[in-house]
Structure 1
Amino acid sequence: MTIRHEIVEEFTFRNGTRSFTTANAVIDTGAHHTCITQAVVDALELDAYDTADVSSPGHEPMLAFIYRCLVAWTMYEEQGFASTHEVLCIPGAGEVLIGFDFLRAHELSVDIQNQGLVGTAPDGAVPLTGGGYVLNMPRSYLLKLNGERANAAKPGAILRPHPAWRFKLPVFIKK
C-alpha cells in the first residue's frame, strides 16, 4: 500500500465534447498555474497557443506549452466548481497539478487535517448525508433526508455530515 503525503482530488478537464478525468490530481498551492500531462493534452486534442519559461521545484529552467481548457473539480462540477483556465504542460511531467489559479477562482483552500479541499458552498446549497450537496431543495425534503443534521448547521461552520461534504454553510443576510 502506498501512502501519499499530498492532497489529491479527482479533476476533469474538458475541451468541447472531449474530457479526461484523473483521480490523482495533486493540489499544489505553490504552483501559480494548473499543470497537465501530455496524456491530458492528447486526450483533449489541445493545441498550444504559446510557450512559457518556468522553473521546476529544483529551480531548473524549463519550457512549458500553454493551452486553454475547462478545469473542473469532478465531484462538484455541476455546482459551479469548473472554469476555463490557461494550463501548462511541461514535457515529461508525470502528474497533474491543480494550481493556485483554480483555488483562487473558486475560493478554495486546503484542509490538511481532513486531506481535501474546503470552501464556501454556493447560494442555496444544502448538505446531504449521502454526500455532496443539492441546490434549492425544498426544506421538507431536506429534513426527510438529513433529519437533525440539517438543523445542526451553523453559519460559517464547516459541515461534515459525510466525507464528501467539505463546505461552509453560505452566510444568509436578512434585510
Structure 2
Amino acid sequence: MATSLSQTINVLEYGVMGSILSIPANYNHSMIVFYSSKGINKGIREWGQMMQRAYNRTNQHRLNDLTINYLGYYTDNGAYYYDNTEKGINYEETIINVYHQIPLPFHYIQLDSWWYYKGIRDGVTEWTGRPDIFPDGLQVVHRRLENISLAAHNRYWAYDTVYKQNYSFVLDERNGKALPIGNDSF
C-alpha cells in the first residue's frame, strides 16, 4: 500500500495515498515522524533510538562487533598491501610479517578481494583461499597469525559461483550476479 506526504504552509499530512480505491479490512498503517531542534547529528541519533524502541532492538550487535570496536589491519583497495606484497615474497608471508613486525595492538586483519576465486564481473565464484595467495592454506596462515580474527571481504556472488549447486540462489545472468536466498545458505 502506498503512502503519501504533503505539506501546506505549517501542516504536514501523512497517510495512505488518496488515489487508493479500497483499503483491506484490518489494514494497519504506522509511521514514525521525528523532529529534533538539537541539530542533525543529535536528531539522527534520537531517531535511531526511537526506531530501536519501536522495533524492540538494541545496540548489542554493534557493541559486540570487533571491526567497529577495535583496531584492525586492512588490506582493502587503497591500502599498501592491496594487490601488492613485500618484494620477493607472497601474500601469505607478507601478511604474517605485517602481523609480527608492526607493534600495534590490532585485533583482526581484513583480507580484501585478492584472496578468493573470482568469476564473472569479479564476483566471488568460490570463497576459499587461492593456493597462489596462501600456498600453505588459509588455516595454516590463521594459526601463524596466532588465531587472530579475520575480516574476510566478499564483493558479491558471481553468476557462476560453485555454491549454486548446493544452495538456493536467485541468478541474474544479465548482470552476472547471484543472490543467496533462504535459510540454507552458508
- TM-score class, shorter-chain normalisation, is under 0.3
Q: Which has the higher contact order (CA 8 A, sep 6+)?
A: 1
More strand by share: 1
Q: Which has the larger radius of gyration?
A: 2
Q: Name the one with the larger helix percent.
A: 2
TM-score, normalised to structure 1, is 0.21
